[in-house]
Structure 1
Amino acid sequence: MLMMRMRAFKPMRVFTALTFGGVAVIVLKLLVLQFVRDHRSKDAIHYTRPGRQGNTTSEEDMSRRVTLMSQACATRWSYNLGSQLYSVSIYSDENQNLMYCPVPKAGCTFWGRIFSFLTRPDDMSQMKIHSPFEIDRMKIHFGPLQPVGQPDWNLAKNEIKEHTVKFFFARDPYSRLWSVYLDKYYLPDFWHRKELSNHICLLNISFQKFMAFAITSHDGHVLPVAVVCNPCEFRPQYIGKMETFFRDSKFILDKGRMGSLLDNYSFKNYTETELKSIISNYFWYYNMRQLSQCFTEKDLCRRMWRVFQINGHIRSTLEFPENLPIYNEETFLGHVLQTVRSQGISRAEAATQRRKYLANAYKTVSRAVIKAIQERFKPDFDIFGYDTRPPK
């Protein structure tokens, strides 16, 4: 009887051992798979790609970003970046509560409005401007309402007080370069510079050609954020990100005791302000730079409509209005606002639409140029935790 029990037990013991061994193998495989995923790119651990924003930014969010920056500066980038900031100006409010280093194509128009409103109270009163978002973007960048700031970091750092909160905004390099292309080269902002061609009409500049230019240019729009606002020298307490722009901006303004500036400001306000500003700007460019020799006002409107779709303001399924009575600033703006209000797109849908266009754009760029971009923007990928791989 005992022998029979032992014989019955032996297969059971073997089965149990095999079962345990099988589970162990599966667990081991899962651990290896997870390890590979986590280490496929050293930056993937800190993966950030444009998408939906949460409700609030926490101290922990900011602390993680600053810790990552500090580690990168301590181990890799302090020597390489030196002690200079490429930024042409440093902004601060009158009481030195906030000090901001502007980065082109990383929220600088928004923050330019904020600091213009804070540093030019007499102008605001005289012009009856009651909100930063009533300020025209052209006057922020080129006109009489540019924020008061120090033109040099060495001068600005002498004004830092114990309570001064220093900050800037970073952005995914792939998203930022795509935005520069759309705003400056697909739309006619930089056509007069003749950087990519000797002709004033840059109607057919491809994204691939722009990217090949961007890897060698010293223009601030296509330099890494870490070069424009060297974080190893500037040492910000907070790093905002364009991927979480609104909640990060609210967090920083609250820290500077200025959160009330956004009390009546919403995503809808932002969208309509941007649309009005963009349409006004490009009609100004069209008239002042004699772009009628390049294309018609209708062609300009068609390009703006396309960019509004790419940026997620207008659904990609909506056709360009081919039969407006006239294609001027007033008529086109009216139609765009009516479209946005009556056939609105949710923030989630807008984010999905933007990602699709972004991914498709990078499919047109050669591997050699992608590799060069990864090398040029290595400090941004490393210091701010962005994924080195192009969007898919």
Structure 2
Amino acid sequence: MDTQHERKKRILSECQKSKFHHRDPEKISGAMQVVRNYSILYCAIPKVGCTFLKRLMLVLSAASGKYSSPFDISPGDIHFRYMETLSKVPEPLRHFMKYNFTKFLFVRNPYTRLFSGYVDKFFTPQKAFHQNYGRYIMETFRKNASAKSLKCGHDVSFLEFVQYVMASIKSGVRQNPHFMPMYIQCDPCVQSYDIVGRLETLKEDLRLILPHEIWQLYVPKNIRELSQIDEVRDAVDIAFNNQKSQKGCLTFHEILQRIWRRLQIRGLLSRHIEFPVGAKHSASLTRETFKQILNIALLKSWHDPSTKQNRNDAMLEAFNTLPRPDLEELSKLLQMDCRMFGYDTKPDNIFKPKESGNQDFRFFDLLPS
């Protein structure tokens, strides 16, 4: 538990040194998922493995035998499932849970979290985010935006996204929890936590929360492979769920290309495997056929050692588009998350980048330059 001691000691130190507006405890309770069977409270932070962790908590809450694994529940489904939160528990039971249940949260590197948020919500065809945030970003941060961009919000660049995030943190306008600092959302200065996990050490940290036999049962040894298969399933759902809603903004072929590239960026598909379906045949592509194509490419990519480097190279490509003043301003806004949770405030791979060995491949060339 030495690592946990150091993590909690660091948080306490930052809370004592820093002065910032703390979150309403009631809102924190609204983010805390209750697992009565194992006396657990989980404070969920978007873009920190919460799709998997919410599914795990739901499995633990369910009747014995209902699920064999968190992967029994599709990624897109979990956010529409009812899960009991601490704010829904009446007093005095709520007070009892708050001070007697094991409370935990997970965090991750703030820079990779921000990048992941962009890829997942803006580069990936996500109609709701394009309409609710993409169009606003076009109106606010792009000079001479085209009529199509203003109407669709479908081609937000990483620079424009970062400018929006920085402005929303400072002004409070158009904030979204997927992009807001982690310390604000579960505010460990207001609510203490028994376990502070990191996404980078997910399996190891879950051992501290779950009984050993439960950990073995629901956290499989091949979690990496299952997670990748799970991501393919989610990618197929996103593509076909957005097929009609993106009409007039993205063709179905463009949607499929972005989904393919999303999986390359996330380090699942090799950059050396091109999307094999032409525009002519994309319209007739079925959900099952696309899934089969992705699974074949996934298996081939497991034999390409360079695939693991994709995410880092894509992230470097994105951050290299930021002017130095914007990068410095961003570091100030991410500084509290970095200091509180033990991450480098100015990581060398972003602030002192070395040239990638794959200069011929561009991860974001599907967006207009």
**Same fold judged by TM-score > 0.5?**
yes
Change (3 A) 1:350 1:386: farther
Corresponding position: 1:307 with 2:246: no
Q: Which amino acid aligns with 1:192?
A: Q
Corresponding position: 1:340 with 2:294: no
Change (3 A) 1:355 1:254: farther
Query: Where does residue 317 of structure 1 map in the other structure?
Result: 272
Query: Where does residue 83 of structure 2 map in the other structure?
Result: 147
Q: Which of 229, 235, 258 is the aligned partner of 1:278?
A: 235
Corresponding position: 1:172 with 2:130: no
**Does structure 2 retain, via aligned residues, the 8 Å contact 1:72–1:382?**
yes
Post-superposition Cα deviations, 1:66-117, rounded to whole Å, max 9, x if no partner, equal 221122223x23x424253555421021135221110010011011111222
**Does structure 1 retain, via aligned residues, the 8 Å contact 2:107–2:182?**
yes
Corresponding position: 1:90 with 2:32: yes
| TM-score, structure 1 as length reference | 0.74
Distance 1:67 1:207 in 2: 35
Q: Which amino acid aligns with 2:101?
A: T
Query: Where does residue 74 of structure 2 map in the other structure?
Result: 136
Change (3 A) 1:147 1:265: farther
Cα distance, 1:222 vs. partner? 1.2
| Structure number with higher relative contact order (C-alpha < 8 Å, ≥ 6 residues apart) | 1
Distance 1:200 1:184 in 2: 17
Corresponding position: 1:205 with 2:156: yes
Q: Which amino acid aligns with 1:248?
A: D
Cα distance, 1:279 vs. partner? 1.9
Q: Which of 289, 305, 314 is the aligned partner of 1:331?
A: 289
Distance 2:213 2:35 in 1: 10
Cα distance, 1:308 vs. partner? 0.7
Post-superposition Cα deviations, 1:246-265, rounded to whole Å, max 9, x if no partner, equal 33334433479554211465
Cα distance, 1:378 vs. partner? 2.0
Query: Where does residue 48 of structure 1 map in the other structure?
Result: none
Give runs of aligned pairs for residues 52-91 of structure 1, distance below 5 A.
59-74=1-16, 76-77=17-18, 79-82=19-22, 84=24, 87=28, 88-91=30-33
**Does structure 1 retain, via aligned residues, the 8 Å contact 2:32–2:43?**
yes
Post-superposition Cα deviations, 1:264-316, rounded to whole Å, max 9, x if no partner, equal 652111110122023213421333xx212112222111001111111100111
Query: Where does residue 192 of structure 2 map in the other structure?
Result: 235
Query: Where does residue 249 of structure 2 map in the other structure?
Result: 294
Distance 1:363 1:317 in 2: 22
Distance 1:161 1:236 in 2: 10
Distance 2:112 2:200 in 1: 10
Residue aligned with 2:272, SS:
coil
Report which of the two structures shows the higher radius of gyration computed on alpha carbons.
Answer: 1
Distance 1:292 1:163 in 2: 51
Change (3 A) 1:146 1:281: farther
Query: Where does residue 145 of structure 2 map in the other structure?
Result: none
Distance 2:40 2:161 in 1: 35
**Does structure 1 retain, via aligned residues, the 8 Å contact 2:32–2:85?**
yes
Post-superposition Cα deviations, 1:218-259, rounded to whole Å, max 9, x if no partner, equal 211111100011011221121111222333334433479554
Cα distance, 1:214 vs. partner? 0.5
Aligned length: 323
Q: Which amino acid aligns with 1:134?
A: D
Corresponding position: 1:113 with 2:52: no
Q: Provide the alpha-carbon RMSD of the alignment.
A: 2.7
Query: Where does residue 136 of structure 2 map in the other structure?
Result: 195
Residue aligned with 2:344, SS:
coil
Residue aligned with 1:160, SS:
helix
Change (3 A) 1:263 1:381: closer
**Does structure 2 retain, via aligned residues, the 8 Å contact 1:297–1:328?**
no
Distance 1:383 1:138 in 2: 31
| TM-score, structure 2 as length reference | 0.79
Consecutive unaligned residues of structure 1, counting only runs of 5 or more, are 1-58
**Does structure 2 retain, via aligned residues, the 8 Å contact 1:165–1:256?**
no
**Does structure 1 retain, via aligned residues, the 8 Å contact 2:37–2:61?**
no
Q: Which amino acid aligns with 1:371?
A: E
Distance 1:254 1:222 in 2: 32
Corresponding position: 1:226 with 2:183: yes
Give runs of aligned pairs for residues 368-387 of structure 1, distance below 5 A.
368-387=325-344
Q: Which amino acid aligns with 2:118?
A: Y
Residue aligned with 1:216, SS:
helix
Change (3 A) 1:168 1:216: same
Residue aligned with 2:267, SS:
coil
Residue aligned with 1:291, SS:
coil
